[in-house]
């Protein structure tokens, strides 16, 4: 199925919660309202003819210039052999978004990574801890205004 057509199906089902279709990305992306992401993802997985059973990647983006953060979901359907990108934008000062762990269990570690490196909080996540850095690390290093610490425990960083 063409991404444009998938966008059409989503718009029909969710109306104003589907904000924008961006053709310049690969695969083309659909901008979704932040609060609706869990419902949209469940529909993408279970909806007729969509069958997005695979979450290829979930990444966080720091859009400092726009005062926003984004979460990007790359989806793939093994059965239908089509792909699409879903995006949500968050408030940079208080980035919260619903988890999609209940839709794709593999999202668990992706979301922990986004939390660890960017500080995006995934509401409803079963185990939101740091995954790459030590538990007592301060700050989130992929934020663009992050300042690297001089020391950690007993050694220089």
Partner 1 sequence: MGVLEDKLPDNILFTNVDKFLNWSRKNSLWYMLFATACCGIELMQTGAARYDLDRFGAIFRATPRQSDLMIVAGTITHMMADRVKRLYDQMPSPKYVIAMGSCANTGGPFYKDSYSVLKGVDKVIPVDVYVPGCPPKPEALIEGIMKLQKKIMEEKNLVKK
Nearer to partner 1, 90 or 117 (CB): 117
Measured from the CB atom, the residue of 79 and 109 that comes closer to partner 1 is 109
Contact pattern for partner 1 over residues 99 through 118, marking x by CB under 8 A: ------------------x-
> By CB under 8 A, is residue 133 in contact with partner 1?
yes
Stretch binding partner 1 (CB under 8 A), from 24-32, 53-61, 105-113, 137-145: 137-145
Strands 121-123 and 151-152: unpaired
**Cβ atoms < 10 Å from Cβ of 28:** 17
Which positions ≥6 away from 65 have C-beta within 8 Å? Answer: none
- Of 8 and 141, CB closest to partner 1: 141
Q: Is 134 in the site for partner 1 (CB under 8 A)?
A: yes
Report if residue 129 touches partner 1, rule: CB under 8 A. no
φ, ψ for residue 113, nearest 5 deg: -65, -45
Cβ proximity to partner 1: between 35 and 149 the closer is 149
Q: Is 153 in the site for partner 1 (CB under 8 A)?
A: yes
| Residue 66 burial (CB count, 10 A) | 10
Question: Which of 70, 123, 126, 125 shows the shortest CA–CA distance to 98?
Answer: 123
Nearest to residue 50, comparing CAs of 88, 78, 92? 78
Residues of the shown chain interacting with partner 1 in the complex, contacts defined by CB under 8 A: 117, 132-134, 137, 141-142, 146, 148, 152-157
């Amino acid at each position: 199925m063409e991404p444009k057509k998938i966008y059409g199906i989503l718009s029909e089902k969710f109306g104003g919660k589907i904000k924008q279709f961006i053709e310049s990305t690969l695969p083309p992306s659909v901008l979704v309202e932040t609060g609706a992401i869990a419902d949209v993802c469940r529909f993408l997985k279970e909806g007729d003819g969509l069958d997005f059973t695979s979450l290829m990647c979930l990444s966080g983006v720091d859009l400092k210039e726009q005062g926003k953060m984004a979460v990007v979901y790359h989806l793939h359907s093994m059965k239908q052999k089509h792909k699409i990108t879903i995006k949500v934008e968050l408030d940079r000062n208080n980035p919260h978004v619903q988890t999609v762990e209940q839709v794709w269990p593999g999202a668990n570690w992706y979301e922990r990574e986004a939390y660890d490196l960017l500080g995006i909080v995934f509401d409803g996540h079963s185990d939101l801890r740091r995954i790459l850095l030590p538990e007592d690390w301060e700050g989130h290093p992929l934020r663009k205004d992050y300042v690297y610490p001089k020391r950690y425990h007993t050694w220089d960083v």
